[in-house]
Structure 1
Amino acid sequence: MFDVKKIIEEITSEKQIKNLSFAGVGGSLACFYAAYYYVQREAKNITTSYTSANEFVHDTPACIGENSIVVIASRGGNTAETVEAGRVAKSKGATVIGLTHEAQDTGIHEVSDYTIVFEDGEGIPFEVGKSAYILKIAYETLYQVEGTGQYEAMVEAMNKMNELVPAAQKAIVPEAIQFSIQYKDNPVIYTMGSGTAWSAAQQETICILMEMQWINSAVIHTGEYFHGPFEITDPDTAFLLLKSTGKTKALDERAIRFLDQYNHHHTVIDLEKYGSHELGEVSEYYDYDFHTALLDVFNHLLADMRDHPLSKRKYMWKYKY
């Protein structure tokens, strides 16, 4: 396990950190949203940005400089846009923390001042995964720099996720089986969410339904649902709503009430049924991670039911793009 506390201590002993920013693409960008959201809500003085890597390269946020920590991530370690974002960040004087699944010899290692090698897969504790390390970077930075961020509660919740996630993944199997049967033939599936759960919904749309299942999809923030998107709601429109456990839960509940009245084909994943209440007042910052873990069960069953492996691609890694 990598000692994030020590990494941040080393950085803050040399620099006065005023900015913590995140740059990545696809699932790695989605992983950053919870930490970005946390910094926005909890920091008193530290600024933050959340930018798609190639946009970061071509239109770098003005906040990036020698008092910045920029966090980048690439599972394989060589995502070109993300590696280049790391180079740009370093050229601005920022300290770069890179996350990858590969132990050595990647572009992420090359451009990062600190490299964290994360783990994933069955039986791997939550706290050594990519998004867990990202949250650790966020709460250690806020705590060490300005003493904010509900530090003790965040650390306690991180530890609890190690047991809550695998138990919830087992418990939700019946619900996931039902979803795979009911949604396997839908040509379009809309995902919905708010708070950090919005990012889990967005990741589900672009990385799973569109990329891995070739199902047309769009993500809808529940706060925006009544300002345009709800006009596409029919009785059989397929929706998957990821319910928040935090302050934005009211937004989700409003959307659910409408769907209950006008739609008969929506699934709501409610984390409170699977132990999220044990995370206490900071549970909303873990909604992305908790939902993503449960969606992993849904996605494998949906792929099996559709006879469409999650590894199947038409373009990705096959052509120059």
Structure 2
Amino acid sequence: MFNVKQMIEEVLSKKEIKNVSFVGCGGSLACFQPAHYYIQEEAKNVKSFYISSNEFVYDTPKSVSENSIVVIASRRGNTAETVEAGRVAKKKGATVVGLQLETGTVMEDVADYIIQFTDGVDNDFAQTKGAYALAIAYEVCQQVEQSGQYDAMVLAMSKMDGILNAARENLIPDAIKFSIDYKDDKTIYTMGSGTAWSAAHQQSICIFMEMQWISSCVIHTGEFFHGPFEITDPNTAYLLFKSTGKTRALDDRAIDFISQYNHHLTVIDGAEHGMNDLGEVSEYYDALFYSGIIGVYNNLLSDMRNHPLSKRKYMWKYNY
């Protein structure tokens, strides 16, 4: 298991850390949002950026310098825009940390540190991509300026495997119902707030659009009443990941409205499946909880629709 604490100690022995950029595409970007959110909420002086890879390449923040850490991620270690973002960061003098699933990749030629993450429900949560990113965030806050909720975050990390394993089993009946109720929908809207928003984002773009060819859009519950709620009718398909933290009131407001005019809403609430055991820091783990359990729903939905999650029209088949 890669030692994030030791890595941050080593970087700090050579230079200051003034900002951290989390850079990726698709699911690799989505899983970085909790880490970015944590620094934004808890840091006193360290700044955080959350940027799509090609945007970082063409519009690099001016504060990226020798006092920066730039974290990039790619499952195969070869996403062209992400690797190029790493090269741009290196030219700025930043320390580049690369997260990858495979080995022997081009990312290894770019990054100062390579973290091999694991994937799948049978692996240690602390070694997953999003968990490593979150560990980088809380280690930077703690070691640079003694800010954040370090002990609580470390303890929460150790509890996530048990919470996820129990939730995946307990949610099977709900997932079966979801697959039946949503199998014929042509459009599904995902919703969330806090870090749960990024799980909704990933579900929308990576699962519904990419893997199921279902039209989708992610809606922040705080923005719902500023335009999106007008598309609500009795049959509008909604999937909402509920925050267990301070933004929970935003979700409740949206749920209350939708429930009056709609009968096609599924709410998954981590508070009902162990996330309250994490205490005040649960909100920082929400996205990783939802991303960790939603596969139960997605596998059943793909089976019900006879549309394998591996099916593609364009991705990896054409030059783009």
The residue aligned with 1:232 is 231
Aligned length: 320
Equivalent position SS for 2:31: helix
- How much has 1:273 moved relative to structure 2? 1.0
Tell me how far apart the structure 1 counterparts of residues 24 and 209 of structure 2 sit (CA, whole Å).
Answer: 19
Q: How far apart, CA to CA, are the structure 1 residues paired with 2:318 and 2:122?
A: 34
| 1:162-213 residue CA offsets vs partner (Å, 9 max, x unmatched) | 2111111111111000000000000000000000000000100000000000
The alignment partner of 1:313 has SS state of coil
Partner of 1:288: 287
CA distance in 2, matches of 1:207, 1:113: 29
SS at match of 2:309: coil
Cα distance between partner residues in 1 of 2:25 and 2:154? 27
1:1-321 pair list within 5 angstroms: 1-103=1-103, 105-321=104-320
RMSD over equivalenced CA pairs, Å: 0.6
| Contact 2:242 2:270 survives alignment (8 Å) | yes
The 3-state SS of whatever aligns with 2:71 is strand
Once residues 8 and 131 of structure 2 are traced to their aligned partners in structure 1, the CA distance between those partners, rounded to angstroms, is 15
Distance 2:56 2:19 in 1: 15
Deviation string 1:51-95 (CA, Å, 9 cap, x unpaired) is 100010011011211100000000000000000000000100000
After superposition, the C-alpha distances for 1:216-259 in whole angstroms (9 at most, x for unaligned) are: 00000000000000000001100001100000000000000001
TM-score norm. by structure 1 comes to 0.99
CA distance in 2, matches of 1:138, 1:102: 23
* SS of alignment partner, residue 93 of structure 1: coil
Matches of 2:117 and 2:237, distance apart in 1: 34
SS of residue paired to 1:211: helix
8 Å CA contact 2:121, 2:292 repeated in 1: no
Question: Equivalents in 1 of 2:159, 2:66: separation in Å?
Answer: 35
Structure 1 segments (4+ residues) deviating >6 Å: none
Return 290-299 or 305-314, whichever deviates more: 290-299
- Cα displacement (A) at 1:296: 1.1
Aligned-residue offset at 1:150:
0.3
For 1:123 and 1:18, the matched residues in 2 are separated by 36
Mark the runs of 5 or more structure 1 residues left unpaired by the alignment: none
Q: 2 CA distance for matches of 1:123 and 1:204?
A: 21
The whole-number CA distance in structure 1 between the counterparts of 2:176 and 2:62 is: 47
Identity of aligned residues (%): 65
User: How many angstroms does 1:303 deviate by?
Assistant: 0.5
State the alpha-carbon separation in 2 of the partners of residues 206 and 63 from structure 1: 30
Q: Find the aligned partners of 2:4 and 2:37 in 1 and give their Cα distance.
A: 19
CA shift for structure 1 position 122: 3.2
SS of 1:199's equivalent in the other structure is helix
In 2, Cα distance between the equivalents of 1:217 and 1:295? 16
Summarize deviations over 1:123-174 as a string: whole Å, max 9, x none. 1111111111110011011100000110000000000002111111111111
